[in-house]
């Protein structure tokens, strides 16, 4: 399933491909999709993408003219599910599983498509960020950190830390491969109570801590983040910085044209790596780790080790386009 970095790279992809491009006509939905129709039609409009955690928002903005002054700007919020991603192609090269399509006013025209083989993804016309999702781990770090530590009495934190890291109410953007990589780096057993891991951290950052967190600037090829605090990062900090490492891989993490995951597989230290162990958590999700799983590990679950390092089919299920 695509995670925060892939969703953000998807937004960068849309902005790179659609910058300066004018779209026209109605937004078209495939006949097989059960998602809602998008009631938007305009002679000339532009598209800009924004990401937040595990969501991407496309903003359709009519160009100013007397003929379109009745058409209102529309936001469409996407969740990628297991296999969603965007493609920008000619009409003749339209992908087979293209379920929402935006056409340019060129001749021949090109098409921005939301492609979703498994059809678990969704979109919401006139949508907003889901209210039950917390601040973005990557680009709203201070708010995300405070949101976690001010709610440690929540029963959600009675669960193992590996399962809580998938709770988008608190860790908006974290998914299966990220939780494995983050816990591995800190040598934290995945099945220890989340509250035990987190309760020693400060709820409010000191002035010195805040100086170490500055605005993150992301381009298609670079992530700029000035860090002045050189102390060992804690779990919440790594939930912020490890996804940024994936973004720094650029197109090697999200490349719907080439689907090249070579750099990503080299970056992985734990997830699907030879010598690591795996076990299904209480929700049936595979957790990769090293050493002792911890006291809250599911009973009767056998530990397994991968036969080959970086199993491509498993890795691709966490990315795009058998990814997102």
Centre a 10 Å sphere on the Cβ of residue 1 and count the other Cβ atoms it contains. Answer: 20
169 belongs to the catalytic site: no
Those residues with Cβ within 8 angstroms of residue 72's Cβ, 6 or more apart along the chain or in another chain: 62
Q: How far apart are CA 207 and CA 200, in angstroms?
A: 18
Among 287, 246, 290, residue whose Cα is nearest residue 268: 246
In contact, 283 and 163? CB cutoff 8 Å: yes
In contact, 310 and 265? CB cutoff 8 Å: yes
Q: How far apart are CA 289 and CA 299, in angstroms?
A: 17
Single out the catalytic residue among 2, 160, 233, 256.
2
Single out the catalytic residue among 29, 54, 248, 252.
54
Those residues with Cβ within 8 angstroms of residue 9's Cβ, 6 or more apart along the chain or in another chain: 247, 250, 251, 253, 254
Strand-pairing partners, residue 122, are: 79
256 belongs to the catalytic site: no
Q: How far apart are CA 211 and CA 228, in angstroms?
A: 7
In contact, 40 and 127? CB cutoff 8 Å: no
- Residue 63 three-state SS: coil
Single out the catalytic residue among 3, 6, 55, 163.
3
54 belongs to the catalytic site: yes
Q: What is the CA radius of gyration of the chain?
A: 21
Which positions are annotated as active-site residues? 2-3, 54
């Amino acid at each position: 399933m695509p995670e925060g970095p892939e969703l953000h790279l998807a937004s960068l992809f849309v902005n790179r491909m659609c910058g300066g491009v004018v779209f026209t006509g109605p937004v078209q939905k495939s006949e097989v999709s059960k998602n809602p129709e998008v009631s938007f039609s305009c002679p000339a409009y532009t598209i800009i993408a924004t990401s937040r955690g595990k969501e991407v928002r496309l903003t359709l903005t009519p160009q100013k003219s007397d003929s379109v002054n009745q058409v209102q700007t529309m936001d469409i919020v996407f969740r990628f599910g297991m296999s969603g991603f965007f493609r920008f192609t000619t009409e003749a090269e339209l992908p087979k599983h293209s379920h929402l399509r935006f056409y340019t006013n060129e001749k021949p025209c090109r098409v921005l498509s939301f492609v979703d083989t498994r059809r678990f993804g969704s979109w919401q016309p006139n949508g907003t960020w889901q209210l039950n999702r917390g601040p973005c781990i990557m680009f709203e770090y201070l708010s995300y950190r405070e949101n976690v530590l001010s709610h440690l009495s929540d029963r959600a934190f009675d669960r193992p830390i590996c399962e809580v890291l998938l709770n988008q109410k608190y860790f908006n953007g974290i998914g299966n491969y990220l939780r494995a990589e983050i816990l591995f780096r800190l040598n934290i057993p995945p099945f220890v109570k989340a509250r035990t891991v987190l309760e020693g951290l400060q709820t409010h950052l000191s002035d010195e801590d805040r100086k170490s967190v500055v605005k993150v600037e992301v381009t298609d090829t670079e992530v700029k983040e000035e860090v002045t605090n050189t102390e060992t990062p804690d779990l919440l900090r790594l939930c912020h910085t490890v996804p940024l490492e994936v973004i720094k891989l650029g197109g090697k993490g999200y490349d719907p044209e080439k689907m090249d995951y070579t750099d990503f597989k080299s970056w992985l230290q734990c997830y699907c790596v030879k010598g690591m162990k795996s076990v299904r958590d209480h929700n049936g999700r595979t957790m990769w780790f090293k050493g002792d799983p911890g006291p809250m590990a599911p009973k009767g679950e056998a530990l397994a080790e991968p036969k080959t390092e970086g199993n491509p089919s498993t890795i691709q299920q966490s990315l795009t386009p058998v990814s997102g």
